[in-house]
Amino acid sequence: MGRLSRAELQQLNRAKVLAAARDEFAGRGFRDAKVDGIAERAGLTRGAVYSNFPGKRALYFAVLADLAERVPEPPALDGAAPDALVRDAHVRDALVRDALVRDALVRDALRDALRDAEVRDAVVDDASPEPPRPIPDSTVSEALGAFARAWVARLPLTEADADTDAHEKRGSARLSMHLMPEILADESIRRPFGQLLKLEAILLGLALERLRPADAPQGRLVRVAEAAFTTLYGATQLAGAAPGFIDPFNVVRACEQLAGLDLNDTWPPPYLRYTPPARPAGEPWDPPLAVDALRGEPARLADDGVVGILGLHRLEAAEELVRAAPPGATVTAVLVTANPGELAPLARLTVAGLRDCLRHAFPLSAWPRLQVLCDDSGAVAAAAGVPVVSEATEAAVRIAAGRIVARADGRGACHATAGGGAPHARTPRPRGRRSREGNATERQPLP
């Protein structure tokens, strides 16, 4: 074999460090893990570890992101009727719930009584709900339940789950138990994470909206998605802090019931009507190859559409891209950060975890049309004419026939570039009126 290039050697060393770090974190826990121990496991020097990752927390985030991105896709439907799958899920949930409170002898009796091999394996091998398979033509409530079931299936729900290595999926959950404490410990991590959760809720809400029949009310469902994530992240925290307390089926049912809530969810926000239009442009568009992190496939950056460059403090603007873009346009949100060592793997971890649950809960026809790119190197941003990025970056370009034909930057850039920057965007300010007290001027409230 020929001599490895410098880039190939760095990639090999990075893979060694990731594998060693996973073993170190799994064996000692995040708090007791040592960089020297990781270097020893990898057969590298301490300096080689730091040349690939800026610190232990960055390495921890990278390990979790790598694990999340390797989760396999759920099995195909194999022609099963949707109503049969729903019945199976209900039966499985009921039987597993019983298994949570019965001893091994009762489980053996259940094994003999059950006819369906899939249900039998779910009861005997794991006392938690199995991730479902996506059901065509499912309702919003059913999709929320399936999404929640996929979420709680990966949690360590009992002390046995938290203390043993019996199941690979539980291993990932145990490794992630220190994620939230590390996020809470640092303001520079908390704010981006809050926006990553906003992005999760936007994507889930858009998927839920696509499930509704055409004759059903067409309101926004992002707040319902936010309520679902509030429930699921709370369950995640308690699963680690109080093993055995969480009843996964109560969590699933609670999420299903969210579909019926009226949360007064409206769109658009008032400030968008004052967004100035995008500026005309005429520049070549030659983006690098990139991967759509939401789908795990090559991104379609050459298509006509709109591309938003979003720092990790401005991810909620991705919704403006989707809602303002015309039908048929390819819509892409490019996530950028000035701290790629720590925040880029956190972004990848969040998107990959969402992707896994969407795969189990939604048919592809209901997935949001937004592509999500994690632009660690900033190469896609540079191709869009944004060579320097920060967490506050918000810029967008419109693509047509391989050229950038319009661009905007600053708050509202995504809305304006996607087609929402209407002529009335420069609406004049309301005129003041004299107050009774004298020369002070009072402004009328904005509509």
CB atoms within 10 A of CB 181: 12
Which tokens hold the place of 21? Answer: 């770090």
CATH number of the domain located at residue range(s) 9-52 in this protein: 1.10.10.60
State residue 136's pLDDT score: 63
CATH number of the domain located at residue range(s) 270-424 in this protein: 3.40.30
State residue 435's pLDDT score: 40
Q: What is the dihedral angle through the alpha carbons of 309, 310, 316, 320, rounded to the nearest 10 degrees?
A: -20
Distance CA 317, CA 415 (A): 8
Show the beta-strand stretches assigned E in 286-413: 291-292, 297-298, 305-311, 330-336, 370-374, 394-400, 403-409
State residue 421's pLDDT score: 53
State residue 336's pLDDT score: 98
State residue 440's pLDDT score: 40
The tens-digit pLDDT sequence of the chain (447 residues) is 578 888 888 889 999 999 999 999 998 889 999 999 999 999 999 999 999 999 999 999 999 999 999 877 766 544 444 343 333 444 434 433 443 333 333 334 434 444 444 443 443 344 445 566 666 668 999 999 999 999 999 887 655 544 444 445 445 667 888 899 999 999 999 999 999 999 999 999 999 999 988 887 888 999 999 999 999 999 999 988 888 898 999 999 999 999 999 999 999 999 898 999 999 999 999 999 999 999 999 999 999 999 999 999 999 999 999 999 999 999 999 999 999 999 999 999 999 999 999 999 999 999 999 999 999 999 999 999 999 999 999 999 999 999 999 999 999 999 999 986 544 333 344 444 444 434 443 333 333
State residue 415's pLDDT score: 96
State residue 138's pLDDT score: 85
State residue 132's pLDDT score: 64
Q: What is the DSSP-derived secondary structure letter of residue 389?
A: -
Distance CA 74, CA 84 (A): 17
CB 49, CB 17: distance < 8 Å: yes
Distance CA 318, CA 413 (A): 10
Distance CA 120, CA 124 (A): 6
Q: Is the pTM of this model over 0.75?
A: yes
CB 389, CB 309: distance < 8 Å: yes
Residue ranges of domains in the chain: 9-52, 84-260, 270-424
